Structure 1
Amino acid sequence: MLFTRALGFRASLISLAGLVTGIVLSASATGAEPGSLPAIDAEQWALQKEVDNIRIYTMDQPGSGFQAFKAVAELDASVENLMAVMINPESCKEWVLNCSESYAFGQGDFHDRYAYSVNDMPWPVTDRDYVLRIRTRGDAGTGQIIMDLNATPGMRAEYSSRVRVDVSNTLYQFTPRGEETQMVWVQHTEPNGSLPGWLVNNLLVDIPVKSMQALEAVARSEKYQGYRLEWAEDGNLQGVVPDNR
């Protein structure tokens, strides 16, 4: 990673917090509908860090020892390229910090599908895994695309070698700005296991920065060029397809 052996201890702590942002997830163990996260424009968001084109905010959550975070970035990548990354069920490994495994499973389509992912944790901490329901919608009028990723742990059997994260809420909002894209990432997660809230809260500010920087680079790579958004007559987003025109 980005850390030397001399910084090994801090690297381990960062990895511990990484589960909070591993391809992150939204809703609850019961598969709650999107909307349980703090509003993007809520006044309670407190700015914690600003790095180049990325701003990180946090907010305390009632009844929880873990804060929610909001990351806002102006990414130098088109919304088409970013969505090409998002529809690849294995792309978690390319941009989400500490994501070591990811794939699609079950029946689904562009608008409503399932994915499984693993967050690699440093020994002796047990790896975390996620079962996600991913819902995507878009509006041709504004060009804005929203993804809700919902933790649905009961959709797959658990592994004895991994700890299942069963409560987590995430929203991605993509708004085109010409050839660039504003991305807003809001998340609140209740990780299982003995992880103190103060540790995760202190480190989660840095995790979305590294992931969004990686996402920008990945979306600009040759692999994700040549895609377009496909819109229905009613203005709803239908999918992301190769641009063969």
Structure 2
Amino acid sequence: MISRIIKLKTSIPYCAILIGLVCSIWSNSVVAQEKWKLADDDGWLKIYTRPMINSKIKSIKVECTLEASASQLVAAIVDIKTCGEWVYSSKKNIMIKQISPLDLIYYSEVTVPWPVENRDYVVHIMVEQDPKTKAITINSPCIPGYVEEKPNIVRISKSVAKWTIVPMEKNQLRVEYLLEVDPLGSIPPWLINLFATKGPSETFKKLRTHVKKDIYKKTSYPSIVN
């Protein structure tokens, strides 16, 4: 029987996962989490946070609407060479392995204000599209190996990040982005607050413009139905 879920191995610029790099921490517990609290509301863009269990660090949820097709948004996200144009604090993004247009492994470094050391990571993202609803789900775990750890840069090894992209009216998308990541090391409270709201806000505002480039409008994928 043909699966009802179309699975695509891919990698979106995982730099997007580090939108709230120092605002989230890994947790294996799934019980009794607090409700999401609205941290910023710009009408089309809403940012929520909630503490992780037994941690002062916060996880992040972003909800927004974007004017684009599903393929258009995916094309913008997987365009690794330009993710520094829209992702907050993105410093370096290097393709490691391109298996197919939607199957990528790459390395990224994120700039973090002094006195905290920069973070880096290697990621491989998985994308699924429901053939009935056309909703696209993008799960993006960090993966080990490929790039040696570097002095004075902290390697991110544990993360949970998920995009949910739902087509609405013609050329309109409802987008949800969830992030939980262990930034490792000691993070000062002022930096937690900075990345919890400013990082997601600036990233998605820039993405809103970035996705409208002609090159993305002209992109299509056989495995993605708009």
**Equivalent position to 1:216, from 197, 208, 214:** 208
Post-superposition CA distance 1:47-82 (Å, at most 9, x none): 222013101111221133211111000112222211
Deviations 1:32-56 (A, max 9, x none): 9xxx798xxx982222220131011
TM-score between both structures, scaled by the size of structure 1: 0.72
Aligned to 1:4: none
Following superposition, the deviation at residue 123 of structure 1 comes to: 4.5
User: What is the distance in 2 between the residues matched to 1:20 and 1:225?
Assistant: 25
Residues 169-184 of structure 1: pairs in structure 2 closer than 5 A: 169-177=160-168, 178-184=170-176
- Call closer, same or farther: CA 1:190–1:197 in 2, change over 3 Å: farther
In the TM superposition, residue 23 of structure 1 has moved relative to its aligned partner by 8.3
Aligned to 1:84: 75
Q: Is the 1:56–1:70 contact (alpha carbons within 8 Å) kept by the matching residues of 2?
A: yes
Residues 75 and 217 of structure 1, relative CA distance in 2, 3 Å threshold: same
CA-CA distance at 1:102 after TM superposition: 1.0
Does the 8 Å CA contact 1:128/1:162 hold for their aligned counterparts?
yes
For 1:198 and 1:167, locate their aligned partners in 2 and report how far apart those are by CA, in whole Å: 23
- Alignment partner, residue 194 of structure 1: 186
The aligned residue for residue 119 of structure 2 is 128
Change (3 A) 1:133 1:23: farther
**1:22 positional shift:** 6.2
1:161-195 alpha-carbon deviations (Å, 9 max, x no partner): 42212222110111112211111000011112221
Paired letter, 2:179:
Q
Q: Is the 8 A contact 2:19 2:195 kept in 1?
A: no
Please tell me the root mean square deviation across aligned C-alpha atoms, in Å: 3.2
- For the structure 1 residues 22 and 56, does the alpha-carbon distance in structure 2 shift closer, same or farther, using more than 3 Å as the test? closer
2:85 aligned partner: 94
**Could you say which residue in structure 2 is the equivalent of 1:65?**
56
Query: In the alignment, which residue of structure 1 is the partner of 2:106?
Result: 115
Aligned length: 207
Q: Higher mean Cα deviation, 123-132 or 108-117?
A: 108-117
TM-score scaled by length of structure 2: 0.78
Q: Which residue of 2 aligns with 1:151?
A: 142
Which residues of structure 1 form unaligned runs of 5+? 1-17, 232-236, 241-245
Moved >4 Å (runs of 4+):
none
Distance 1:130 1:69 in 2: 19
Q: Is the 2:117–2:152 contact (alpha carbons within 8 Å) kept by the matching residues of 1?
A: yes
Q: Give the corresponding residue for 1:21.
A: 19
Code of the aligned partner of 2:173: T
Q: What's the secondary structure of 1:215's corresponding residue?
A: helix
Correspondent of 2:177 among 182, 185, 210 = 185
Greater CA drift, 148-157 or 46-55: 148-157
Structure 1's 59 and 94: CA in aligned 2 closer, same or farther, altered over 3 A?
same
SS class of match (1:206): helix
Letter in 1 for 2:19: T
What is the CA distance between 1:103 and its match in structure 2?
Answer: 2.3
Question: Is residue 20–residue 200 contact of structure 1 (8 Å, CA) maintained in 2?
Answer: no
